[in-house]
């Protein structure tokens, strides 16, 4: 788990106070890097949007990770992940891909694993019955899109990194929920980061 303090000058003290309890902490330079390191936006948003019909018709009566993350859905997830990593690189952060992050934090030794293979075989992500959202207003869309994907897209614009897959998920999520997540979401201005240097 990525961790940083606010202000970042307190990073070492915060990490030292927690490392005995949380053994898998990964020090980040600052809270912005922590936000970019959050893989929920990759794991939740595309899967919920691309399973909209199934969520609507079953009211979430399927296994979100094991059944919802098909190979084709995972291709979109991996594209969203690559775009997020490229935007982070444009700001000066180096992030591990989501499947490496999952392997590391769930301590998987399985060689050659990809995102689809991991999430559809991980006991932490399924096998206990239906766990999908009951509707598309669940936090996987209503929180993760405006507060996660929208800022990443805006940072991409600021550093000249295109985010077509991320933008597509934002657009589809907005249509599905009759919302304007770009308007409602976190902006560089609302975070006090507009016009700043990011590198």
The tens digit of pLDDT for each residue in 72-101 reads 999 999 999 999 999 999 999 999 899 888
Residues of the chain with CATH 1.10.1040.10: 38-184
Nearest to residue 181, comparing CAs of 130, 127, 139? Answer: 139
Task: State the catalytic residue, choosing from 117, 144, 167, 180.
Answer: 144
Structure tokens at 190: 């609302």
Average pLDDT over all residues of the chain:
90
Do 26 and 51 contact (CB within 8 A), yes or no?
A: no
pLDDT in tens, 137-195: 999 999 999 999 999 999 999 999 999 999 999 999 999 999 999 999 998 888 888 87
Set 44, 99, 116, 125: catalytic member: 44
Question: CA–CA separation, 193 vs 127, rounded Å?
Answer: 42
pTM beyond 0.85, yes or no: yes
Mark whether 121 is an active-site residue: no
State whether CATH 1.10.1040.10 applies to domain 38-184.
Answer: yes
What average pLDDT does range 129-136 have in this prediction?
Answer: 93
Q: Is 144 a catalytic residue?
A: yes
């Amino acid at each position: 788990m990525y961790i940083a303090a606010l202000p970042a000058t307190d990073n070492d003290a915060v990490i030292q106070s927690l490392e005995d309890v949380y053994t898998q902490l990964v020090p980040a330079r600052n809270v912005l890097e922590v936000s970019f390191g959050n893989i929920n936006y990759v794991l939740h948003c595309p899967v919920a949007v691309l399973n909209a019909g199934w969520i609507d018709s079953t009211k979430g009566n399927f296994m979100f990770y094991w059944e919802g993350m098909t190979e084709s859905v995972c291709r979109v997830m991996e594209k969203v992940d690559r775009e997020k990593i490229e935007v982070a690189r444009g700001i000066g952060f180096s992030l591990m891909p989501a499947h490496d992050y999952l392997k590391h934090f769930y301590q998987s030794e399985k060689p050659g694993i990809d995102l689809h293979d991991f999430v559809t075989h991980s006991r932490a992500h399924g096998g206990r019955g239906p766990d999908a959202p009951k509707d598309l207003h669940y936090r996987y869309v209503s929180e993760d899109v405006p507060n996660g994907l929208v800022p990443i897209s805006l940072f991409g614009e600021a550093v000249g990194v295109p985010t077509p897959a991320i933008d597509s998920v934002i657009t589809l999520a907005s249509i599905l929920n009759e919302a304007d997540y770009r308007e409602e979401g976190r902006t560089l201005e609302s975070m006090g980061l507009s016009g700043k240097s990011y590198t």
